[in-house]
């Protein structure tokens, strides 16, 4: 006997979360719940506006069709929309017991503004110190000075930087100019410095600062080849697809000697804790990029260990079936 439900939810965001120049006031998404006998599984389907190819409406229609077919005993194919495939594959993996409970709850602290705050967080951080800073939002020179200052002040710090393709080659050079060459190797990677891949590769070559692909990974013409200066890929499962597809990408990255970082697409705590489990399973040696929960004002269904935001339960969700 199979039973199913789809829930809709809306979470208020912290004031001031801006994505691709759009203010994100609420994070809206869906959960799917699958039950078979005494086994059950949950999955999150929350396309990220401005990043996902599919809208929430398209995701909901595809999720409904798949879920009802599954309830009726079929083995429907995944719909092929990344956020939907991701959520369904998580629910199925929980149901089948193939998503281990063990999770990697380390998260590289994400700093979008004041470096003083990051300073305090890093001072209190045990073990490997790795943090991620958004760059490209202000002057490139300022970004370079902040990176340099942090690397100088905290000798065991490794930085991940993310420019989201904000820089022209000139701006990228202005950034690099302010980072002391002896610290450059402690920039674990700089995600997508320039608008084109060719410019980003040239930047890595010219500055010795390693880069990582994030957006590029999801472009149709992306190829898995080793390129000088590329050190990592950032894999966002909600934008990628099923757990099986995520696993293939991790394997492709590792085969090229690249670091694979499982990263958030600003999922709720349910999706984020599942990403922490996926990271523990596929990338146990790499701190995942999952420090986005505090951009929200509440958690849903499953709390992230140690997080103090209130956790809303099933009653806060709107059943759609
Ligand atoms: O990768 C991380 O450490 C956190 C996730 C993160 O930085 C992002 C998630 C989703 C959208 C973006 O604003 C941003 C990114 O650009 O990678
Ligand atoms: Mg990025």
Indicate the SS3 state at residue 261.
Answer: strand
Task: Find the 69 Cα to ligand 2 centroid distance in Å.
Answer: 36
Q: How does strand 318-319 pair with strand 129-134? A: unpaired
Rounded CA separation 171/173 (Å): 5
Nearest CA to ligand 1 atom 14: 265
Q: Is the distance from CB of 158 to CB of 129 less than 8 angstroms?
A: yes
Residue 97 DSSP one-character state? T
Q: Which of 198, 188, 254 is nearest to 226 (CA)?
A: 254
pLDDT confidence tier of residue 20, bands split at 50, 70 and 90: confident
Residue 225 pLDDT > 90: yes
Label residue 223 exposed, middle or buried (CB < 10 Å: 0-12, 13-18, 19+): exposed
20 or 195: which leads in pLDDT: 195
Give residue 304's pLDDT.
Answer: 97
CA distance 308 to 310: 6
* Mean pLDDT computed over 299-317: 97
Q: Which residues belong to the annotated binding site for Mg(2+)?
A: 162, 191, 214
- 7 CB contacts (<8 Å, ≥6 apart)? 30, 31, 32, 33, 314, 317, 318, 319, 320
160-187 mean pLDDT: 96
In a mutational test of the pocket of ligand 1, which residue from 264, 287, 288 has the highest number of ligand atoms less than 8 Å from its CB?
A: 264
- Looking at the chain, how many residues does it have? 321
Alpha-carbon distance of 316 to 204, in angstroms, equals 47
Q: Is the pLDDT of residue 290 over 80?
A: yes
Q: What is the pLDDT of residues 34-93, one digit of tens each?
A: 999 999 999 999 999 999 999 999 999 999 999 999 999 999 999 999 999 999 999 999
Does the CB atom of residue 286 touch ligand 1 within 6 A? Answer: no
User: According to the model, what pLDDT value does residue 223 have?
Assistant: 96
Ligand 1 and 94: CB distance under 6 A: no
Task: Name 285's Cβ contacts closer than 8 Å, sequence gap at least 6.
Answer: none
Distant-in-sequence, close-in-space partners of 82: CB < 8 Å, separation ≥ 6: 47, 52, 53, 54, 238, 239, 240, 241
Q: Does position 116 have pLDDT exceeding 90, yes or no?
A: no
**CA-CA distance, 313 to 287, in Å (whole number)?**
29
The response to whether residue 192 sits with its C-beta less than 6 Å from ligand 1 reads: no
Two structure tokens written together for 81: 């929309």
Let me know if 132 is a catalytic residue: no
> 63-77, 141-155, 169-183, 241-255: lowest mean pLDDT where?
141-155
- Provide the pLDDT for residue 16: 75
| Most informative mutation of 263, 288, 294 for ligand 1 (most atoms within 8 A of CB) | 263
DSSP 8-state code for residue 303: P
- What band does 108 get if pLDDT is binned at 50, 70 and 90? confident
The tens digit of pLDDT for each residue in 122-166 reads: 888 777 789 999 999 889 999 999 999 989 988 889 999 999 999
- Pairing relationship of beta strands 259-262 and 22-23 according to DSSP bridges: unpaired
Q: Which residues pair with 88 in a beta bridge?
A: none
Ligand 1 within 6 A of 46 CB?
no
Residue 113 has pLDDT above 70, yes or no: no
List residues, by chain if needed, whose CB lies under 5 Å from ion ligand 2: 162, 191, 214
Considering only CA atoms, give the Rg of the chain. Answer: 20
Q: In this predicted complex, what is the ipTM?
A: 0.96
Centre of ligand 1 to C-alpha 27, Å, is 14
pLDDT score of 298: 97
Q: What is the DSSP letter of 138?
A: S
């Amino acid at each position: 006997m199979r039973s199913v439900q789809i829930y809709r939810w809306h979470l208020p965001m912290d004031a001031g979360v801006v994505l691709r120049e759009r203010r994100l006031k609420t994070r809206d998404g869906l959960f799917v719940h699958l039950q078979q006998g005494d086994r059950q599984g949950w999955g999150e389907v929350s396309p990220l506006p401005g990043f996902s190819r599919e809208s929430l409406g398209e995701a909901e229609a595809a999720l409904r069709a798949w879920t009802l077919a599954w309830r009726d005993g079929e083995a429907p194919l995944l719909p092929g929309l990344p956020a939907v495939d991701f959520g369904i594959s998580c629910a199925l993996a929980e149901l089948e017991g193939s998503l281990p409970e063990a999770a990697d709850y380390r998260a590289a602290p994400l700093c979008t503004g004041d470096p003083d705050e990051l300073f305090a967080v890093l001072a209190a951080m045990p073990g490997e110190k790795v943090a991620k800073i958004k760059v490209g939002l202000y002057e490139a020179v300022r970004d370079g000075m902040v990176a340099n200052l942090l690397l100088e002040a905290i000798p065991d710090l490794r930085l991940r930087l993310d420019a989201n393709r904000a820089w022209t080659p000139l701006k990228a050079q202005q950034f690099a100019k302010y980072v002391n060459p002896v610290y450059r190797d402690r920039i674990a990677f700089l995600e997508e410095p320039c608008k084109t891949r060719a410019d980003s590769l040239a930047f890595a070559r010219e500055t010795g600062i390693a880069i990582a692909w994030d957006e590029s990974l999801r472009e149709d013409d992306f190829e898995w080849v080793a390129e000088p200066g590329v050190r990592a890929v950032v894999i966002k499962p909600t934008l990628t697809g099923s757990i099986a597809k995520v696993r293939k990408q991790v394997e492709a990255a590792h085969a090229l000697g690249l670091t694979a970082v499982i990263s958030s697409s600003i999922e709720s705590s349910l999706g984020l804790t599942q990403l922490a489990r996926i990271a523990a399973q596929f990338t146990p040696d790499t701190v995942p990029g999952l420090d986005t929960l505090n951009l929200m004002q509440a958690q849903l269904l499953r709390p992230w260990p140690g997080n103090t935001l209130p956790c809303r339960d099933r009653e806060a969700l709107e059943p759609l079936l």
